[in-house]
Amino acid sequence: MQLTNEEQAQIARIKEKIPRIAALDPECKLFGSEGWKYQWPKPAREAKIASWEKKHGVTLPREYRIFLRYIANGGPAHAYGLKSLDSTYVYGDITKESPIPLYMTQQDVDKLNADNTEDDDDEFTFFDGALTILTLGCTYDICLVVTGQYRGRLMLTDGDEEYPFDFIYDKNFLDWYERWLDDFIAGMSMKGFDRSLPGTQIQLREWFLTE
């Protein structure tokens, strides 16, 4: 994989920030950290990633692929952390285009529920084109869109909510992961990170007042 100068710079920034967050939480008090204990697995080999892609008939979004190949194959992240590639979940048909619109209405939810196939309890059409890479506990997960218009974006999912899908702010996986590191280092509350916008509370208030 040929990396751009921008991508190389972002990888370097992330690698520089990774040990800093471990130093900030030596007793693993952050929710989920008692499980991953600030231990990052080795990056995945290119052959391993390519084999997974061939098996599932898809090419992973570039930014997520870069993370796996050059930073870590899973490991510390929001809540219970990132799953290794082999531990990720595929609930729907990952080769099909994701049917989830950027802004979901009740009509969209009703249509997806009506289209849902019940022949296999583990397969749902609304998870087509998506890969579950992280769990937050209970019914909350974070999925990566692998196919379709919003390929590369992350979604927060919850099967118990009236509107079960919310797109996360960041445009790609690496931006999301670096923002998680930045917020942690800045001492921000990580409790609602999955639904938050980038910036400190002061910056967000200033943005709100000028809009």
**Residues 154-176, mean pLDDT to the nearest whole number:** 84
Give me the chain's average pLDDT, please: 86
Chain segment 27-46, per-residue pLDDT in tens: 999 999 999 999 999 999 99
**Residues 123-146, mean pLDDT to the nearest whole number:** 89
Helix (H, G, I), strand (E, B) or coil at 38: coil
Helix (H, G, I), strand (E, B) or coil at 132: strand
- For the chain, domains (ranges, CATH) are 5-195 (3.40.1580.10)
Q: Is the predicted pLDDT of residue 73 greater than 60, yes or no?
A: yes
Residue 177's contacts (CB-CB under 8 Å, 6 or more residues apart) are 14, 67, 77
Q: Is the predicted pLDDT of residue 202 greater than 70, yes or no?
A: no
Predicted TM-score of the model (pTM): 0.86
Task: For tokens 């084109």, name the residue.
Answer: 129
Residue type, 54: K
Helix (H, G, I), strand (E, B) or coil at 101: coil
